[in-house]
Structure 1
Amino acid sequence: MLAGLLAGILAFGFVKVFGEPQVDRAIAFEEASAHEHEHGDAGGEEEELVSREVQASVGLFTGVVIYSVSIGGIFALVFAFSMGRVVQLKVGPRGLAAILALLAFISVILVPGLKYPANPPAVGDPDTIRQRTKLFFLMLVVSIAAMVVAVNLFKKLLASMNGWSAAALAVVLYVGVLSVAASLFPTINEVPDNFSATLLWKFRVASLGIHVILWTVLGFVFGWMAERHLLAPKYRPTARLQS
């Protein structure tokens, strides 16, 4: 959780610099579009429950840090389960943490996001938000399940072939399953015709960058802490992990 806290602080700094400007531009577009459609409406504007200033500062910091700390706790549980059970490689705690962080980023963030990427304000129909959320989480479940199956296949194949061949077959299995799932899941495209493609691209890159920082820092910092403070007396970097 401490590793997650550090990762969250760094991720907050990144989103504050690179993500929030894109959100502000998207909100400006949304407000301009709303004014165009409501110029004949006699009703007043809805009262803002939480100001944009709070959302972009305290609210953003709280959300990012709580999310990161929670991910750090879950990561620690997965690491504890995987240590000595999942892999038979001379990687040590630091290597295992890096591998788990990479696999988690691919299965939890990258692949589901390729099918249903993050959208800024003004993109997406409010009436379909439940459907879009269900589809994203269903894609997330399929991705995680396929990754678990691929890792177990890799583990079994190690007994009969070298590591590179086993890894290649596991990757083929994962990519195959997710390719089929992506083709079967409906495509959702609710980007307004006049919405800036550059803004949409920058927002999605910034959204991905947050998770790149979070998982990279979490994997390396957690691995260093585990190797140095928790498992160093029993496991060394060259120690063999027994299944």
Structure 2
Amino acid sequence: MTPRQLLVRGLLAGFIASLFSFGIACTVGEPQVDAAIAIEEAGSAATADTAPHEHADGHTHSHADDGTEVPRDVQSTFGLATGILTVGTALGGVVGLASAFAVGRLGRLRPSQSTALVALVGYVSFSLVPFLKYPSTPPAVGNADTIGDRTLHYFVVQGIAVLAAVAAVAAARLLLPRLGTYRTVLATVGGFLAVVVVTALAMPTVNELGSFPADTLWQFRLASLLTNATLWAGLGIILVGLVGRLHEQETVRVVRRDLAASL
């Protein structure tokens, strides 16, 4: 079972999972985005001054945007599909390579079981933990001047969570022979939770919701969480199935080879 074999299967699993995630994003997520945009446009229409403003230097400024605007129907279809398929396929490749590294290194777990563990740990550390600290926000929420800081904060939490997960898995390999499965799981999971909780408490809190409707915000974040969870669940399930089948094929091949050598 080579890294190339698991990489190819990871890419395939990520691509297929992205199709399911795209379907969820279209049916559940996009209506919430449209609702948020409608709220944003209504607020802008109520406060915008349509007449040109005169500046101190005597020049006038219009509110028209000189840039090229991508139509909303393109953003919600082709643009959304391209983004999800690209990210999902690449993510599948990374999980496939991580699964190849984990094969035979996580106690007595079979390749399919270690792959499932890699997908679960990846989802929790890479996606769920940073989402819980800095959940996604619709287009009408947030100050444009702080988007750089908010993005940095998200990646800091994400990076620490991933490193803590890797450290927990490495510690589990060392503790398993001494403590057994139950106590090893308690120790490593507890250590991981301690790190991410302290990190979440230490990182700045972002509160830029303003008067945005709470029910629309909740529905948007729930749709975002469901879309992401669908991607990871599909990736994990499909890749576990592919790896399990590959392992069975290689096991049969080894048995046949040994049988032929013994004749």
Q: Aligned pair 1:45/2:64, yes or no?
A: yes
CA shift, 1:165, in A, is 1.0
The structure carrying a bigger helix percent of its residues is 2
The DSSP-based 3-state class of the residue aligned with 2:122 is helix
CA shift, 1:201, in A, is 0.7
| TM-score of the aligned structures, taking structure 1 as reference length | 0.91
CA contact (8 A) 1:115 1:182 kept: yes
- Separation of aligned partners in 2, 1:94 and 1:204: 32
CA contact (8 A) 1:15 1:206 kept: yes
CA contact (8 A) 1:227 1:235 kept: no
CA shift, 1:235, in A, is 5.1
Which amino acid letter does the alignment assign opposite residue 168 of structure 2? Answer: A
Structure 1: state its 5+ residue gaps: 237-243
- Separation of aligned partners in 1, 2:187 and 2:216: 38
Report the equivalent of 2:97: 77
CA contact (8 A) 2:104 2:111 kept: no
- Separation of aligned partners in 2, 1:78 and 1:210: 23
State the Cα deviation string for residues 158-181 of structure 1 (Å, max 9, x = none): 111221110011111011111111
CA shift, 1:41, in A, is 4.0
Residue number among 187, 195, 220 corresponding to 1:169 in the alignment:
187
- Separation of aligned partners in 1, 2:73 and 2:125: 33
The DSSP-based 3-state class of the residue aligned with 2:177 is coil
State the Cα deviation string for residues 157-213 of structure 1 (Å, max 9, x = none): 1111221110011111011111111111110110022x1111111111111111111
Query: Which protein is bigger by CA-based radius of gyration?
Result: 2
Report the equivalent of 1:136: 154
Report the equivalent of 2:17: 7
CA shift, 1:223, in A, is 1.3
> Higher relative contact order by CA 8 Å / sep ≥ 6: 1 or 2?
1
Q: More deviation in 152-161 or 33-42?
A: 33-42
- Separation of aligned partners in 2, 1:65 and 1:234: 30
Q: Aligned pair 1:24/2:34, yes or no?
A: yes
State the Cα deviation string for residues 79-110 of structure 1 (Å, max 9, x = none): 1111112x1033x2222222111111100111
Report the equivalent of 2:8: none
Residue number among 190, 197, 214 corresponding to 2:214 in the alignment:
197
CA shift, 1:44, in A, is 4.6
- Separation of aligned partners in 2, 1:41 and 1:118: 34
State the Cα deviation string for residues 61-82 of structure 1 (Å, max 9, x = none): 1111111111011111111111
CA contact (8 A) 1:93 1:235 kept: no
State the Cα deviation string for residues 125-148 of structure 1 (Å, max 9, x = none): 000000001110011110001111
Structure 2: state its 5+ residue gaps: 1-10, 53-61, 253-263
Which amino acid letter does the alignment assign opposite residue 221 of structure 1? Answer: I
The alignment's C-alpha RMSD in Å is: 1.5
Q: Aligned pair 1:114/2:132, yes or no?
A: yes
Report the equivalent of 2:5: none
Q: Aligned pair 1:214/2:231, yes or no?
A: yes
CA contact (8 A) 1:94 1:220 kept: no
| TM-score of the aligned structures, taking structure 2 as reference length | 0.84
- Separation of aligned partners in 2, 1:102 and 1:224: 15
Which amino acid letter does the alignment assign opposite residue 23 of structure 1? Answer: V
- Separation of aligned partners in 2, 1:143 and 1:210: 21
State the Cα deviation string for residues 109-132 of structure 1 (Å, max 9, x = none): 111111111011111100000000
Q: Percent identity?
A: 37
Which amino acid letter does the alignment assign opposite residue 94 of structure 1? Answer: S
Alignment size in residue pairs: 232
